Amino acid sequence: MAAGPTYPIMTAAAGSDGPVVYVVDDDKAIRLALSTLLRSVGLRVETFESPEEFLQFPSAAGPSCLILDVRLRGKSGIAFHQEIVNSGMRMPVVFMTAHGDIEMGVKAMKAGAQDFFPKPFKDQDMLDAVERALARDSERLAADVAMADLRASYQSLSPREKEVMAFVLSGLLNKQIASEMNLSEITVKVHRAQAMKKMNARSMPDLVRKAESLGIKPQLSSSARR
């Protein structure tokens, strides 16, 4: 790797919830060099000689990324990347190769790679790529947590509240919903307020946005269904 200036990407404790960078390369010297570089800016690093070793290692709970050599003994890095993508693993991947070409780089990026570097590369370029990859994974994890919270909020609704919410999403007024459900208007109003509260919806547009995220469809009135 070519020498270059470095600066702290983010401070990370060695705990399992902190950012971690995985390195898969069958070249021991490259593994050591990358480990030294990344640890110098406070990152936790785990290195592996083969994809099999990486797969056997427990995954971290916090943000992570994978630095992957394209040409590995016994298996192509790009083929391995496709395998982990197919398995549902969404960890950002930074490819590197000593034998790279434009076609290989394009193939890697089309497969969803975060970055692609031919060896030798500048230390700072790799640090910048890792920083972007970890930031991207942090955003993904935050979005996953938010979606899980949203699903839990919806599941906390009673069956009646879910039904009222579905009619609300179609734009019906309380009086119209009451007629559809054979309830009093005041009862519908209470269910509607409870649904808004449990969904943490600040407004109708906010409720609609959250419902769309969950894939909840509006319930049309009986007249609209005819």
Per-residue pLDDT, averaged over 109-136, amounts to 88
Give the model confidence (pLDDT) of 38-75 as tens digits: 999 999 999 999 999 998 998 888 999 999 988 887 77
Looking at the 3D structure of the chain, how many domains does it have? 2
Which phi and psi angles does 2 have, rounded to 5°? -75, 150
CA 72 – CA 87 distance, rounded (Å): 20
Domain containing residue 180: CATH number:
1.10.10.10
The domain in which residue 48 lies consists of 20-150
Residue 193 lies in a domain: yes
Domain boundary among 135, 150, 165: 150
- Whether 145 and 164 share a structural domain: no
Residue 108's CB is within 10 A of a number of other CB atoms, namely 24
- Whether 88 and 192 share a structural domain: no
- Whether 74 and 133 share a structural domain: yes
The residues, ordered by sequence, that sit 6+ positions from 185 with a Cβ below 8 Å of its Cβ are 174, 175, 178
CA 163 – CA 41 distance, rounded (Å): 53
Q: Which of 78, 82, 72 is nearest to 104 (CA)?
A: 78
- Whether 36 and 146 share a structural domain: yes
Residue 108 lies in a domain: yes
Beta strands in 49-130 (DSSP E): 64-69, 71-72, 75-76, 93-97, 115-118
Residue 100 lies in a domain: yes
- Whether 146 and 162 share a structural domain: no
Q: What is the pLDDT of residue 9?
A: 37
pTM equals: 0.76
- Whether 130 and 180 share a structural domain: no
Q: Residue 188 above 90 pLDDT?
A: yes
Residue burial 46-82, b: 16+ Cβ < 10 Å; e: rest: bbbbbbeebeeeeebebbbbbbbbbbbeeeebbebbe
Domain containing residue 60: CATH number:
3.40.50.2300
The secondary structure of residue 58, as a DSSP letter, is P
Residue 5 lies in a domain: no
- Whether 36 and 116 share a structural domain: yes
Domain boundary among 118, 150, 182: 150
Domain boundary among 150, 174, 193: 150
Reported for 174-181, long-range contacts at CB under 8 A and 24+ positions apart, including other chains, are 176/221, 180/221, 180/222
Residue 97: burial class (beta carbons within 10 Å; 0-12, 13-18, 19+): buried
8 A C-beta contact, residue 35 and residue 44? no
- Whether 179 and 141 share a structural domain: no
Q: Which residue has the higher pLDDT, 13 or 157?
A: 157
- Whether 110 and 195 share a structural domain: no
Q: What is the pLDDT of residue 221?
A: 76
